[in-house]
Structure formats: structure tokens, C-alpha cells
Amino acid sequence: MRRVFDTTAIAFALGLLVTACVFAQQVTGAYWFADKSFPEYIQLWQEGWSFKDEKGNKLIYAKPTMPLGGYLFIHFRNTTRETVNVDDIVFEGIALSKAIGKSDEPKSAEDKYYSSILLSKLPTQQIEKLKTLGWPVWWKPEPASVQPGCYGKVTIRLRRVPRANQLKVDVIFGSRRLPINVPVRGAQPHFSTIAFSTDLKTVYLYPNYAKRGVGPQRVYIDDIDVTHLATVNWDKTLDTAAIVVKLTKPLDWMSYHNYRITYSDGATAQYGLRTWARELVYGMWSSPGGGDDSESATKSFIEEYVKHNINCVMPYVVGVCRDFFLSDAGWEYCEKMGVGRMTHWPDGKHHAVFTFAMDEPDANDAACRLLDPKDRLGALGQYLVNWTHILNEADPQTPVLLNINNTYKPENWYMYHQLADIPCIDPYYTEQQDFAIQGDPYYFQFHTRPTYVQAVCAISQSSCQPKPLHVILCSTRYSNDQGYQGRYPTPEEKRMEVYYAVGSGAKGLSFWWFPKDRYCHGLDERTPEANALWKEIGLLGAEVRTAGPVITTSCPANLPVQASRFLWTRALLCGADTVAVVVVNENVACDRLGTIVKPVENAHVTVDLPSWIVPKSAFEISYDGLNDMKWSSKGKKLTLELGTTTLNKLIIITADTTLRERLQKRYQDMFAENVRWLKTSSP
């Protein structure tokens, strides 16, 4: 069902201040969302650490019956005439400022500290009470200060599902107290994705409601009813709607806004976040280490990255090039070449693509000797709340990225993904193979194809939504002092991993890493295996960046799909008129020597399209450009004839008669020349 509202009605304006003299904050919504369990992946989560269980065996943290937790979100509007800060949260009568105790007082903002209710000075009775109420781990107000008439949010991470059906929470604003009762049972509508066009004039909202047949009614941004500016698309058979809001003027870069969708049964989906949008980030971590002088070394590696369709340099640039790369001239050269960067701290003169809050807090949690190993996950949470606030204050124009590693799987991904602007993961598949080979070969059977990447992306998308997930994929081989020599990921594995990530909802990709290293051998080793992988990364970059405008504004959706045997398929809703279908051939085996692939012959996929899409064309995006697909439709069902499918297909089905031409032009202007060079270069 499609409803298009008159965009000429009331002029849209954000940021209006209240005119009435009201001296209280207004709660606009309080919600509990439990972590979604993925039992089908439980066999993947063997640990790589040295903790022992009660029998002296290596600890396996994940169990089929393992408990998870969830998030509390409290949304409010500042209805006063003064700026307000959330100073504390009182959780069932216990102040979290006292309940989440610190290991020590940091001497500076950068000093890390651990925190936990087990490190507090509260009486044992109160600590046990907090455990039954879900065990608060960290809490964060956003923005740090809320201007008059504007919206804010408080996020509270709970380690476990509360035993109570309702929680009493007080939000403290100085001397004012805002009491809230939060129900913790029952299905709630929520946003699966909130995205923006690069000009910030279009907002893409994908609310999800398990109660099917109940449609979205009104659309709000902050106080403003923008339903008249929206195209609302929903189907009574689907749980996800696609709403596109065309604004009369762009939102401000990194401005914070509250988004609400009201349903016909009175339910509300609500979320607040900062506003930013870029071309799909396709990055490489670090740089080559060699070169004659800093300027020529920088220009050489940037030119090589551009030819491989890399558009962002992630941190840890090494070697000769470092000085020029970090200079004003280096910034200007990279910007001219279309290459951004992620930094650890703003330099006061330039705005990076991302600011890097921290790498792998879950791995660092495991080192907290003040707590039992089973209680350590999340110990850096409250430190990271404060640190991300500091980074936002130091550079309000740059979103903050936080990368979560592979420690305390799978609970680690749920624990941290709502903390920063950009949730990030590093599911290194070949590293998991290495762990199995060196430690317990039994687990190798679960890693004969890159299911690990698929699983981590699925869990992370469920726990970070509606924020944009960034996925780091492995481009190295590993060795150790005991003589073990791992192999590089194969091009086939990397192709599967990229499309597992995209099909699961990833909005950005990067690769770890490029330099030579004693234990972590990057692409700069320039062996035949490294060169073949580097070439494939370049070809994949042409594909996903060509499709970037579709991918970055899309949302995974449970569209019914039937496919030939061995094909993994996922559908993405893309705005008001397009569906992307991601296909991966899983008739693949990966071992210590490489990858064996058996293509699927005469493959086909049938997808049940949403009722609002009447397709005009279907085409595939590959590194050779765009190619029309053979397709037929009967009612809502559209069948695609894929022919021989070796590893993957990225297919766009659209009612937009201009989309194919626009994407083809994008490919020709930005990537075709690079692809010609990559295809003729020797691996």
C-alpha cells in the first residue's frame, strides 16, 4: 500500500523553539528491546583465550542456553527555556552514578578505567537487587546537552533480561526528577534502519513491527509532523515499511533529531540519532611502509589505493609516508584524490570521515583482573560513554566509530553496539580457521566456508539498528613463533564475505590491513597470494561502490525468497521503489590450501515483491558494469533467471526508470577505468 502526501502543504522547518513557558521535561517514549538470539550460529563461538572452566578445560563462553540482555531507551523533549543535562539515572531507587562503580578515578579524560556494579560501594543487598533488575552495565545521555525545544535520549545497557515486567526509572536533570515506568514485555515497533541522502534532504525510515497488518499513520521529525512530505509504503504481509521523507531544506550535518512513526493501533516506533551521510565507505587500514621520501611515498600509495577503488584510509599509517600524510598538504592531496581518513583525535583544522573511539573494548575487558572472567564484559562501557562525549565535543562534525572484536562471543556485539555513532565489527574468518587448526581441530568443521562473517553481521545488525554497521574484513595472513604459517584469504572467500555483509545490512566496509608485519602479514608482502587478494578487493570495490547509493539507504527485509539449491539469498528494501537481492553460492569448501567452488548451473531466484513496487527493470551490478537480467513476474512473485552463478550476484529490481542509467553513469565515470587496469594487471 502506498500513500503519497502533498509536499506543498505546510513548509517544513526544524529546530523551532518552544514559545510557552513550561518548566518540565516531557517523555516522548520509553522502550525495552531484548537482544535477539541466533541459536543457529552457536557452534561458531569457540573462544581463543586462556580462561579455564571448572574442569580445567578451555572456557567456552557461549552455550545454547546462555542468557542475553537488552537496551532501555528513554526519549524526552526539553520543554524548558534553558539548556539541560542528564546528570544521573535512578534505577529502581538506586542512582547509577553510585551503582556503576569505577576501578579508580582517572587523572585525565584519556585514562581508561573499568566500571561495574560489582566495583561499587553499594550494600550487597542493593547489588543483588540490581542483578535481578537486569544488571545495568553502562548508560549514556545523547546529546550531552539538550537545547530548549530539542530532543534527547538516554540509553541504558542491561546485561540480562529483567525479571520484573516493568522498571521504574528516574531521569535526573539537576534538581528536577523525571519519573518513568518502562514495560519490559511485549513486542514494540522499532526502526531497523534510519538513513539519509548525501545532500541530507531525504530521510529513509524503515520501521519494523512484528504485529503485521497494522500500518504506519503519521511521521514526525522532532515536533514536526512531516507526513505531508512523506511517501509511506507498507504491506500488510510484511513487518517492515519503507518511508521516504523529502524535506524542503536539508538537515544540518551531525544535527541530532528524534524520529517517530505512529501506527494505527496507537503503537510508536521512535529513535534519536545524529545526521550524516557519505558515499559508501570502502577503506583500507594503514599503508605500505616503504618509499624514498614522505611526499612521494604518500602519493604513491594513495594512487594505488584509488586504482583499487579504496576511498578511505583507516588509522595506523606507518613508515616513511607518515609525516606528509598527516601534514596539511597531505590532507589536501588525499581530499583531491577522493580519499578520506579516520583519525583518533581531531587536529582542529580538518574533518575526518570518522573518529576512532577505541579498538576492541571487549578484548580489553578480558584483561580486567578486578572481576571474575565471566563478569568482565562491558567493564569499559562507562569509560567509553565519557570518551565518546569528549570526542563529539572536540569535533562535533565527525561521527565516532567503535570497533568490537571477537571476545565473549556472541554477547560482546550486543553489549557495545548502541554506544557510538558507527558500530563496527572485525569478523576475521581465516583467523577463526587458524584458531581451530592450532587449538581444537574439531571446530574446523564449522569454518569450511565464511559463515562466521554472515553470523557476526546478522547479530550486529540486530543489535546496532537503526545505526549504520561498518564491517572490517581480513586481508592478512597470520604466523607465530611456534612456526605456524597461516594463509591469505582467497579472493573467493573475500567475495563471499563482502556479500554476506552487504546482504546482512552493512553500510560500509574496510580491510585489515596493508603493511608487512612479523605476525600479521598484510598485502604489502606482495606475494602472488597477496596480490590476487588485493586485485579482488579492487574489483569488489567497483561493484559495491557502484551500488553504494542503493546500499547505504537500504534495509534488510524478510521478503519471501525461493532459490536454487545452495544459494544464500537476502533482500534489501531500497527507498520507495527498489529491492536489492543479494545471492551467494554456498556450494564452497575452504581448507588450509584454499577454496573449492562448484558453480550453480541454471540458477534462479523468486522473490515476493512488496505490493507497492511494480518492477520496470532488473539488472545485475558486477565489476564489468550493469547487465540486464532475464525476469518474469506473476502477481507479486518475480522470478530471476541467473544462469551460471559462480560465487555471487547483486541484483537490483526497480520501478525507477532512471536508476539503471544513473548507476551505469556512476560506474563509467568512477570505476570502469580502474577495472580495466585491474583486469590487465598481473596478480
DSSP annotation string for 475-514: --EEB-TTS-B--PPPHHHHHHHHHHHHHHT--EEEEE--
Residue with cell 513487518: 239
Residue 491 lies inside a defined structural domain of this protein = yes
* Pairing of the two strands 94-95 and 88-91: antiparallel
Q: Are residues 353 and 469 in the same domain?
A: yes
Q: Are residues 415 and 547 in the same domain?
A: yes
Per the CB < 8 A criterion, the answer to whether 152 and 146 are in contact is: yes
Of 349, 346, 344, 353, give the one whose Cα is nearest residue 310.
Answer: 353
Per the CB < 8 A criterion, the answer to whether 91 and 130 are in contact is: yes
Per the CB < 8 A criterion, the answer to whether 499 and 506 are in contact is: no
Task: Output the nine-digit C-alpha cell for 11.
Answer: 513548509
Task: Output the nine-digit C-alpha cell for 302.
Answer: 594513495
In eight-state DSSP terms, residue 443 is G
Dist CA 125 CA 234 (whole Å):
49
Express each pLDDT in 449-470 by its tens digit: 999 999 999 999 999 999 999 9
User: Phi first, then psi: what are they for 403, rounded to 5°?
Assistant: -100, 130
Q: Are residues 404 and 466 in the same domain?
A: yes
Handedness of CA 183, 184, 185, 187 (dihedral sign): positive
Residue 482 lies inside a defined structural domain of this protein = yes
In eight-state DSSP terms, residue 435 is H
246 CB neighbour count, 10 Å cutoff = 16
pLDDT at 683: 66
pLDDT at 47: 84
466 CB neighbour count, 10 Å cutoff = 21
Task: Output the nine-digit C-alpha cell for 154.
Answer: 538516554
Residue with cell 578445560: 57
pLDDT at 681: 85
Reduced to 3 states (helix: H, G, I; strand: E, B; else coil), residue 396 is: coil
Q: Are residues 531 and 402 in the same domain?
A: yes
Residue 17 lies inside a defined structural domain of this protein = no
Helix and strand element counts for the chain (H, E): 15, 41
Per the CB < 8 A criterion, the answer to whether 650 and 499 are in contact is: yes
**Residue 105: band (very low, low, confident or very high) from pLDDT cuts 50, 70, 90:** confident
Express each pLDDT in 496-539 by its tens digit: 999 999 999 999 999 999 999 999 999 999 999 999 999 999 99
Q: Are residues 454 and 347 in the same domain?
A: yes
Query: Dihedral angle at the C-alpha atoms of 240, 246, 251, 255, nearest 10 degrees?
Result: -10
pLDDT at 46: 87
Lowest-confidence range among 41-50, 415-424, 616-625, 644-653? Answer: 41-50
Q: Are residues 178 and 192 in the same domain?
A: no
Dist CA 580 CA 568 (whole Å):
14
Quick check: 21 pLDDT over 50?
no
pLDDT at 10: 32
pLDDT at 5: 40
Quick check: 15 pLDDT over 90?
no
Task: Output the nine-digit C-alpha cell for 148.
Answer: 530548549
Reduced to 3 states (helix: H, G, I; strand: E, B; else coil), residue 459 is: helix
Residue 7 lies inside a defined structural domain of this protein = no
Domain count within the chain = 4
Residue 243 lies inside a defined structural domain of this protein = yes
Per the CB < 8 A criterion, the answer to whether 194 and 259 are in contact is: yes
pLDDT above 70: percentage of residues in the chain: 96
Q: Are residues 504 and 575 in the same domain?
A: no
CATH number of the domain encompassing residue 243: 2.60.40.10
| E strands, 35-114, in order | 70-78, 88-91, 94-95, 101-102
What does the pLDDT average to over 252-261? Answer: 98
Dist CA 634 CA 445 (whole Å):
41
Quick check: 622 pLDDT over 90?
yes
Express each pLDDT in 305-343 by its tens digit: 999 999 999 999 999 999 999 999 999 999 999 999 999
Per the CB < 8 A criterion, the answer to whether 242 and 206 are in contact is: yes
- Helix axis angle for 659-670 and 528-546, nearest 10°, is 140
Residue 5 lies inside a defined structural domain of this protein = no
Express each pLDDT in 471-489 by its tens digit: 999 999 999 999 999 999 9
Express each pLDDT in 136-160 by its tens digit: 999 999 999 999 999 999 999 999 9
224 CB neighbour count, 10 Å cutoff = 16
Dist CA 490 CA 505 (whole Å):
23
Quick check: 23 pLDDT over 60?
no
Lowest-confidence range among 95-109, 226-240, 602-616? Answer: 95-109
pLDDT at 22: 42
214 CB neighbour count, 10 Å cutoff = 17
pLDDT at 3: 47
- Three-point CA angle 134, 136, 137, nearest 5°: 130
Residue 214 lies inside a defined structural domain of this protein = yes
CATH number of the domain encompassing residue 594: 2.60.40.1180
Residue 518 lies inside a defined structural domain of this protein = yes
User: Phi first, then psi: what are they for 328, rounded to 5°?
Assistant: -60, -40
Reduced to 3 states (helix: H, G, I; strand: E, B; else coil), residue 315 is: coil
Q: How confident is the prediction for the chain on average, in pLDDT?
A: 94
Dist CA 427 CA 430 (whole Å):
9
521 CB neighbour count, 10 Å cutoff = 23
Q: 284 has which bridge partners?
A: 313, 511
Domain boundary at 182, 201, 220, which?
A: 182
**Residue 104: band (very low, low, confident or very high) from pLDDT cuts 50, 70, 90:** confident
Express each pLDDT in 158-199 by its tens digit: 999 999 999 999 999 999 999 999 999 878 999 999 999 999
Dist CA 675 CA 575 (whole Å):
29
> Domain containing 215: what range?
188-274
Q: Are residues 298 and 243 in the same domain?
A: no
pLDDT at 291: 84
What does the pLDDT average to over 412-422? Answer: 98
22 CB neighbour count, 10 Å cutoff = 12
Domain boundary at 124, 154, 182, which?
A: 182
Domain boundary at 527, 551, 575, which?
A: 551
What does the pLDDT average to over 209-228? Answer: 95
Express each pLDDT in 344-375 by its tens digit: 999 999 999 999 999 999 999 999 999 999 99
Q: Are residues 326 and 300 in the same domain?
A: yes
pTM exceeds 0.85, yes or no: yes
Task: Output the nine-digit C-alpha cell for 357.
Answer: 573511539
**Residue 545: band (very low, low, confident or very high) from pLDDT cuts 50, 70, 90:** very high
Q: Are residues 606 and 577 in the same domain?
A: yes
212 CB neighbour count, 10 Å cutoff = 12
What would you report as the CA-atom Rg of the chain, rounded to the nearest whole angstrom? 25
Say how many CA atoms lie within 13 Å of 222 toward its Cβ: 22
CATH number of the domain encompassing residue 378: 3.20.20
Dist CA 299 CA 23 (whole Å):
57
Dist CA 193 CA 376 (whole Å):
30
Quick check: 99 pLDDT over 70?
yes
Q: Are residues 530 and 460 in the same domain?
A: yes
Q: Are residues 102 and 171 in the same domain?
A: yes
Handedness of CA 99, 105, 108, 113 (dihedral sign): negative
Task: Output the nine-digit C-alpha cell for 326.
Answer: 598527516
Of 625, 648, 662, 475, give the one whose Cα is nearest residue 550.
Answer: 662
Per the CB < 8 A criterion, the answer to whether 132 and 152 are in contact is: no
Quick check: 399 pLDDT over 70?
yes
Dist CA 291 CA 301 (whole Å):
9
pLDDT at 187: 81
